[in-house]
Structure 1
Amino acid sequence: SDHTEPGSIRVCFKRLASTQLSIIAKVDKDANGNFQLVDSPDVGMLTKVDAIVSADDLLQAAKDSAKFWRKIFRYVLPLVMWLGIYCCLSPLVWVIDKFGDALETIPCFGGFLGGMVEMVETLAECAICIVSCCGALSCSLLVASLAWVWFRPQVGIPLLICSLALFAGLVYFAMSRKGAEKVRKRPSSRRSARQVPIDGGGVEMRSSSSNQMPATPVQFAVVCPDGVYPGGLVQVQAPDGRMVQVQVPEGVEPGQQFAVSA
């Protein structure tokens, strides 16, 4: 009828052009001997339209399709996580870029300052890219290992241990560098032997020579050796064992004595 009334039910029928169908599904047999497909979210079915294939071929095609998509997801997951972490850190680059734009408005020095900021921006982009890549690979390894622990323990457990060890190493490195000094000290062996220590308000000069002047000078006699004339230098040993160099005074001939105070 062309006229509809309240309570009328409209039924639509569709006819498929396919004449052949292969299906693998769970069915139930009713009391009349008819088979009905089980409609359940826990039970699926495999179909092949316009072809009559065996169950083995249909199952093999389903396995090949699942294997293909599994490999795709294994490569796509790290890339997606890499992109996600990079997007989370990219506002830092935006802040640096805006800061550079503000500096470029300064007269005379704006171009130079803007170029410096652009260099910093490029370095920041490289650093964010590296950090996001490392984080994505670590997280992907952890997620994959957690998924394989149940289905493939022989592969999942070693991967889980490796991922946890990697995260533990990163945390330990970050904690160990937290209180480290920013400036590296020079080794003590490289310090100069002529360093001047400061103690209180006085300054004491230390000599590297082992021969030090005594508190009181020592007087002793020296015989002028042969071949040495007035004005020449003579090296003699003082009574306290020190080696000193003295000058022969005027009027002293070889073999004569003269007094020395050292």
Structure 2
Amino acid sequence: MPHRAPDAAPALALRGLVKRFGAKLAVDGIDLAVPTGSFYGLVGPNGAGKTTTLSMATGLLRPDAGTASVHGVDVWSDPTAAKRMIGNLADGVRLFDRLTGEQLIAYTGRLFSLPRDEIVARTADLIDLMDLREAAGVAVADYSAGMTKKVALACALVHAPRLLVLDEPFESVDPVSAANIEDVLRSYTASGGTVIVSSHSMDLVQRMCDHVAIVSNGRVLVAGPVAEVRAGSSLQERFLELVGGRTHAEGPAWLRQS
């Protein structure tokens, strides 16, 4: 399991987060404390409120109520200071995809006021890490889904944030690149960085994370160390037990091949 560096203050603290979209209550008073140095998984069914919660936590979406703070800095009262500590791989956010991969990573470094020499070195390191060397000079608009995910992750890493918030980071990424990225993330948390990953892959979360929260209908059903949340079952079994909806259906008769 990833090592968690001791720290009294949580890397991310969410208190009473609420978000409505018209008549729909997407997030219903979420409270969550993510320990510094942890590898924290956020899992839940489609429409559970995971992406909305992470968007509010990282300053992309203003909550209707509640607070979010990163290492004690309020995301909404001091957004510049908070966002300097966050590396964000958000779902559905458009990239400046007319830039090449190399240009996009470098541009992101400039947004965080990194020195020019540092940007050049970090961009080269990240291109190699993500196995994007051959595509470094190609416009991101022409990237595959997996390559786009990798360059977006490189942008999230370029300023060496204290907190990484990753929404489905391995979706569409090839197995070799995924294994390399896992190694980097484990090293990052071992050094005291914190990762929050939202994923539908229970196996990935159980393998990589030391903490997990199960979310459904905009609420946290259970949260804590993975072993405690599993309670002697697999994470998949515990998830189905808490969330429900499993029907064991065989499908319609016309679909069966006998």
Q: What TM-score comes out, normalization by structure 1 length? A: 0.17
More helix by share: 1
More strand by share: 2
Q: What TM-score comes out, normalization by structure 2 length? A: 0.17
